[in-house]
Amino acid sequence: MLFTACSWGLTWPQSKFLLTMLPPFSMRAACGVAGFSFAFLVAFIRRERLWPPRDQWPRLILFAMLNYGLFIVLTTQSLVWLKASEAVVITYTLPVWASLLAWPMLGERPTATKILALVLALGGVALLVGADTAEASWQKLPAAGMGFLAAILFGLGTVLAKKHPLRLPPTTSVAWQALLGMVLVVGLASFEHPVWSNVTPGGWVAIAYISTIPLTIAYLAWFRALRMVPASTAATTVLVSPLVGVIGSGVLLGETFGPRQIVALAMTLTGVALAARG
């Protein structure tokens, strides 16, 4: 879970960096197509079954939209209008929705420790974006809304994956979800006009990282973690992602990182530690 959280967190500043060179969906499509190609290669090398059973297709398509397609579309639009540090912390309110949905769907009644963990973690998230949101124009509100919607959908995907896991080998499952999710993204990218010569060597390195680590290897670790721990615990622990995203945005993009952010990070880390312990 920690590996997944850190690798996903680093994706946000790198994606924001790529947006200076490519249109949003073209950037996501380039990473995604390379990502599912890499996943299928890994599945082939591991000699996993590559074609899903017939009865798994409806669930596979649903998970692909929740975990990849709709999530990527919504977070991409959010990232266009917000700072990387803002977008990542808004999106990673997903533990709230996962915990709320896990109660009626999985019977995972939240304990006092998990409630405290959520309060601390979300308090840290609120502190991270509170001042910036107050100063933001009304034009930022739709982008923030898309970030919250992405969080709700991913939280739903987390709970459904825990309740009804796919009967597929792990790498094959990731590869197909990435491929099916990319159909939506590639369709939107077809309306854009990217200039690939604008991509610098550093940009290609970012594309290589995003397409292999976060989009494939991290998802393998994520789905493995969901089989080992409660969905609400997994979703809360992944709040490490905004910490990494905020720090990475400060270091790589020069976004603000002051005393308020440090306090917020400490609160969120404490919540994550309590969630993992509880």
Query: Which one-letter amino acid corresponds to residue 105?
Result: M
Identify the pLDDT of residue 11.
Answer: 93
- Whether 158 shows a pLDDT value over 90: the answer reads no
For 162-181, the pLDDT digits (tens) are: 888 889 998 999 999 999 99
CA distances from 47 to 34, 38, 201, 213 (A): 20, 14, 33, 20
For 48-72, the pLDDT digits (tens) are: 999 999 999 999 999 999 989 999 9
* 104-108 contact pairs (CB < 8 A, 24+): 105/159, 105/160, 105/163, 106/159, 106/162, 106/163, 106/230, 106/231, 108/230, 108/231, 108/232
Identify the pLDDT of residue 135.
Answer: 52
- Whether 134 shows a pLDDT value over 60: the answer reads no
pLDDT band at 188 (very low <50, low <70, confident <90, very high): very high
- Whether 28 shows a pLDDT value over 80: the answer reads yes
Between residues 27 and 230, the one the model is more confident about = 27
Residue 48 main-chain phi, psi, to 5 deg: -80, 155
- Give the burial string for 251-263 (b: 16+ CB within 10 Å, else e): ebbebeeeeebee
DSSP codes joined into one string, 86-150: HHHHHHTTHHHHHHHHHHHHH--PPPHHHHHHHHHHHHHHHHHHHHHHHHS-TTHHHHHHHHHHH
Query: What's the farthest any 2 CA atoms get from each other in the chain?
Result: 54
Which has the minimum average pLDDT: 18-27, 92-101, 134-143, 165-174? 134-143
Identify the pLDDT of residue 41.
Answer: 95
Q: Can you tell me the distance from the alpha carbon of 123 to that of 119, in angstroms, rounded to the nearest whole number?
A: 6
Identify the pLDDT of residue 267.
Answer: 83
- Whether 106 shows a pLDDT value over 90: the answer reads no
Between residues 7 and 274, the one the model is more confident about = 7
Angular region, 47: left φ>0, alpha ψ -120 to 50, beta rest: left
For 136-150, the pLDDT digits (tens) are: 546 677 888 898 899
pLDDT band at 131 (very low <50, low <70, confident <90, very high): low
Identify the pLDDT of residue 243.
Answer: 80
Identify the pLDDT of residue 128.
Answer: 66
Say what percent of the chain tops pLDDT 90.
42
Mean pLDDT of the chain: 85
pTM, 2 dp: 0.83
Which has the minimum average pLDDT: 20-34, 173-187, 189-203, 252-266? 252-266
- Whether 266 shows a pLDDT value over 90: the answer reads no
**Are the C-beta atoms of 206 and 14 separated by less than 8 Å?**
yes
